[in-house]
Structure 1
Amino acid sequence: MLHLDDAARLRALDAGRMLDLVADLPRQLRAGWELAMRASLPREWNASAFDAIVIAGMGGSAIGASLAAALTEGECPIPVVVVRDYALPAFARGPRTLVIGSSYSGETEETLEAFETARKRGCALAAMATGGRLAEQAMEWEVPFFPIEPVGQPRAALGYSFSILLGLLHRLGLIPDAGTAIEEAAALLTADAGQMAPEVPVARNPAKRMAGQLIGRIPIIFGSGPLAEVARRWKTQINENAKAMAVFEALPEADHNTIVGTEFPPELLTHLIALFLTAPSDHPRNALRTRITRELFMRRGVNTDLFVGRGESRIAQAFSLILLGDFISVYLALAYQIDPAPVQVITELKARLAAGG
């Protein structure tokens, strides 16, 4: 196991510069919002133009959509649905459904199929990508296209995929102006990133300390409301960056099933750690559930920890937790002495799919 206070060794192991990409999140939030604000949209696109919005994406290209949908659920008057698959829902047809294809590479086969289906069904279309076939289709079909800056890995472009979609919802007149919340989040994250830099020792670095606690353990990450999607982000970042197993759960649903599954196999419980994500904006009953659920896990002998989102806005609170989780996942990878960036198993899977098995 690598000692996380060896900053030079950390930088050398991090060949894909994932530490720098994680710290780039606040800049991306601002840049994505500005891109959405200046984008050219059809004149007829307004608050009454659509009955539903469907965002088709996978993995790192889908999490921004899920966060945007969750954080605007109480404001947006029409449903925003995220599709992580090949097929669109049956209701997605005709010009009153806007389908947005989100693929960092522009080559994600599930997203491309859903996007092509949407065109055949006569849906309104928009797309976001760094390039690839999705960008080519958007240009050919003359639909709004939001170019994402290439940053290396799809999961490292969350700031763009989230704030572009948030800005588009505002441009359509579906949610209030979130520019102030984006700026608050970006400023907060800039300060936090400095406190979690590789040069900051473990004793003063919360991400390094938590990464050390995850070594040899499987985390179960809990969140309620929009923080359920933040919990998903923690899970997927630990999977992809640290190449480690992790699970995420949504409250209050987990209180109707997951809390019962803490008896067998007993020898596994010492290898689990339950992490609870909270924020001042949590529903009061979910805040209470979080406290009680954590106590129940501790009574079963499961290690636990609690993390509180910072900031005034729900966006800032969510993204302060996202930045922490991103840094934790990278430091966990480096503690295991691996480069966080490559995802060789996914590359192999795609190659086998392309070859037909």
Structure 2
Amino acid sequence: MSAIDIDKISKIDKADMLKSLVDFPDQCVEAIRIGKDASISYKASDFNNVIFAGLGGSAIGAEVFCCLFRDELKVPALVSREYTLPQFVDDKTLLIIASYSGNTEETLSSYDMGLKKGAKMVCISSNGKVEELARKDNFPFVRIPAGLPPRCALGYSFFPLLGIFAQMGFIKDKSSDADETIKLLRKLRDEKLAPQVTDKDNLAKPIAATISGGLAAIYSASEHMGAVAVRWRGQIAENSKHLASHHLLPEMNHNEIVGWENPKAILKKITAVFLKDKDDHIRVKHRMEITEKLITPHAKDIVVLESTGESALARTFSLIYTGDWVSFYLSILNGVDPTPVERIGFLKGELAKIK
């Protein structure tokens, strides 16, 4: 019997993270509708830059967006995970305020700064202070459903952006790509990822087993897949309560590759995971192959995972969804409930004491 069978899952996964994973394609369908129904009067021609202000699970959707559409967006777009905004923010800045809870203190600080600088804002949250401020200051507000850990709401943090930015004219309509993505996610879930899929056919369980007992180093190309590596690292940390790192190529080849020499005993506990896509730059593809050869003698193991799907959107989410399942199965192997994030709660409590 598998070390990750449904009985073991039910004993450990007390808050039912499994349901969030299984329901994720349906979440994406609802999120697409939310984006299409949003009423945004801004036009892309009104802006010189776009900034997404958010943290953690609320920021990753924006990071995926920036990576996916870096070749389509005609103005600079970046994700700000800070209390403050860049100095260049002004009335030609589109500021997307993203906070799942609506109460993230860094994001609220960015809202205040954006307001003072005259930025035009679109606010996205489930409720909280963000909604209150958006209503008061008459900025467009997009409500997403509450009740999930922010990292489980990636569909809600990403897919509404497709409709919102298409409305404004920043990107083309992505309906067909989104439809393909939903179909692919359901197929992956049912045939490659869910607990009932046998170990032999399951894509995520063996990767989790390989990482178990050691560390994970996640690598991808920086151009379009950089956010995917960030997501993998974050999910392994929060869901699995397990340390992981990530780095992006080609930059990784200019520093971190040299570090794969010492300490030798630790290196033998590291699984290097390479996330690949058919649209990776040809030179990056060569770099990944050579990097694999350099790392293999030193690592515990090497995992190579290729994206699947036709559109860039589908391929991106094929890797993201697989990584989410890997982190879930790793939590079961670690014997920890994937949902609670007690250290984050403790940190917020301590910060609340400091005025």
Q: Match of 1:343?
A: 341
- Against the structure 1 CA distance between its residues 236 and 5, is the aligned structure 2 distance closer, same or farther, given a 3 Å change threshold? closer
Contact 1:5/1:201 (8 A) holds in 2: no
Contact 1:101/1:111 (8 A) holds in 2: yes
Q: Match of 1:40?
A: 39
Q: Match of 1:152?
A: 148
CA shift at 1:79, angstroms? 1.1
How far apart, CA to CA, are the structure 1 residues paired with 2:152 and 2:317?
14
Equivalent position amino acid for 2:286 in 1 = L
CA shift at 1:329, angstroms? 0.2
Equivalent position amino acid for 1:61 in 2 = S
How far apart, CA to CA, are the structure 2 residues paired with 1:89 and 1:72?
21
Please, what TM-score do these two structures have when normalized by structure 2?
0.96
Q: Match of 1:16?
A: 15
Equivalent position amino acid for 2:71 in 1 = G
Contact 1:62/1:82 (8 A) holds in 2: yes
Q: Match of 1:82?
A: 79
Q: Deviations over 1:312-350 (max 9, x none)?
A: 011111100001000000110011111100000000000
How do residues 24-173 of structure 1 correspond to structure 2 at under 5 angstroms? 24-42=23-41, 45-94=42-91, 96-173=92-169
Q: Deviations over 1:23-49 (max 9, x none)?
A: 22222222222211121112xx11211
How far apart, CA to CA, are the structure 2 residues paired with 1:176 and 1:150?
29
CA RMSD of aligned residues (A): 1.4
Equivalent position amino acid for 2:33 in 1 = E
* Long gaps (5+) in structure 1: none
Q: Deviations over 1:251-301 (max 9, x none)?
A: 110011111001111111111111000011211111111111111101334
Contact 1:4/1:202 (8 A) holds in 2: no
How far apart, CA to CA, are the structure 1 residues paired with 2:249 and 2:23?
30
Please, what TM-score do these two structures have when normalized by structure 1?
0.96
CA shift at 1:136, angstroms? 1.0
How far apart, CA to CA, are the structure 1 residues paired with 2:230 and 2:179?
24
Contact 1:151/1:157 (8 A) holds in 2: no
Q: Match of 1:183?
A: 179
Q: Match of 2:353?
A: 355
How far apart, CA to CA, are the structure 2 residues paired with 1:97 and 1:253?
29
Equivalent position amino acid for 2:18 in 1 = L
* Long gaps (5+) in structure 2: none
CA shift at 1:120, angstroms? 1.3
Report % sequence identity. 37
SS of the counterpart of 1:48?
helix
Contact 1:238/1:329 (8 A) holds in 2: yes
Poorly superposed stretches of 4+, deviation over 4 Å: none
Contact 1:56/1:100 (8 A) holds in 2: yes
Q: How many residues align?
A: 353
Contact 2:215/2:244 (8 A) holds in 1: yes
Q: Match of 2:241?
A: 243
Q: Deviations over 1:100-132 (max 9, x none)?
A: 110111110000000111011111011111111
